[in-house]
Amino acid sequence: MKGIKDIQTTVQNVNIKIDPVVKGAAEGVLSGMGLNMSAYIGMCLRQVAQDRKVPFTQSVDPDFWIAESKVGEAKTYIESGAFSAAFDLYLRMIDEFIDSRGKASLSAYADRDSDIPRFITLQLAEAEAKTDLSSVSNIISSGEALAVKARSVGELFMADAKDDEAGGEGGKRFCDAYAEGVESAAKKASETAAEALESEASLRSVIDCEPSNLTTEEKASVLDYIISTVLDVASEHPSNLSMRFIGSGGQPELAHVFDALKAMEDYREWLSKADERLQKNKDEIARMEEASHQHLLDLIRAQNGVPGTQNITQVMPKPEKNLSPDEMIEQAEAFKKIMQILNNENED
């Protein structure tokens, strides 16, 4: 009728309240089907009106919703840029820590006044090889742990070097210098984490307090939580996470997440083989020592079993730094006795 509004053609807006976890999970599925929330709700209401019943059977899976809650949180960290900022910072901290740790070792070695005993170098190498740097917190704490280890090695060596007090003091000084270096590396890592939380907007956007109110440990924990939340979801619920980014244009960010997950898995696999790598190094050292020893015996044999300064110096690294000619001859005499035994010249 003229003058009467046709209410049949008027589109009406409906406001509904829905849990954000449910909304996010549903939108991810609908996006993969080429639908949006508005279209789906319209379809459901049409079906309810037409069939006079709810077009699905209600079921509850608590584990599913717990997982979806984690997926939603991970999506927030990814889209805000917080994950990318935190993980890139973590990688930079690893590089800086390893570089500083290496410089600490070189500096301690440069300041030595005698050769560093193999006992010390092997102990510190083993400690470094087994250091777990898989989190920001671990990077910071590992410097302190290595410093404690180095000082304990120095004290132990000092106690065992009673007959060589000067050598014992030298080994202890080396360990103390190394300890100070790795402590400095840990302090630098703490400062790097603190500066990032203060200056990086994407990180500040996902924490509920002022970064300056957090302790060093809490700042590291915040970064670790962001990283671990995203990587755990990517590992345990990869399809659920991927579904949230269909049609959103966030594929590059999602690819970065899975690249980071692969890198972390590779690192943990590498770390798990520390003992195997250390044993191979020890075996190689033993092989080289045996080869050097055999070479010396061959040199002595070539001179009819007569040891001397010349053939000793061919196999001893920089002997002039540690042994006088008389001491080298004394050591050579010991090898001469070995040769006599090998040549059946000594019944004992």
Angle between helices 136-160 and 82-110 (to 10 degrees): 20
Tell me if 228 sits within 8 A of 73, measured CB to CB: no
DSSP secondary structure string, 318-343?
SHHHH--HHHHHHHHHHHHHHHHHHT
What is the pLDDT at residue 348?
46
178 is written with which tokens? Answer: 């190394």
What is the pLDDT at residue 244?
85
What is the pLDDT at residue 120?
83
pLDDT tens for the chain, residues 1 to 348: 555 555 556 667 777 777 777 788 778 777 777 778 888 878 878 887 787 787 777 777 777 778 888 999 999 999 999 999 999 999 999 999 988 888 888 887 776 666 677 778 888 888 888 999 999 999 999 988 999 999 998 888 877 666 555 556 778 888 888 899 999 999 999 899 888 888 888 888 888 888 888 888 899 999 999 999 999 999 999 988 988 887 777 788 999 999 999 999 999 999 999 889 888 888 887 787 777 767 766 766 666 655 555 555 555 544 444 555 566 666 666 655 655 555 555 544
Distance (Å, whole) CA 8 – CA 203: 50
221 is written with which tokens? Answer: 């924990």
What is the pLDDT at residue 323?
55
pTM of the predicted structure, to 2 decimals: 0.72
10 Å CB burial of residue 42 (0-12, 13-18, 19+) is middle
Task: Please give the backbone phi and psi of residue 34, each rounded to the nearest 5 degrees, phi first.
Answer: 80, 20
What is the pLDDT at residue 7?
54
Distance (Å, whole) CA 122 – CA 99: 19
Tell me if 131 sits within 8 A of 142, measured CB to CB: yes
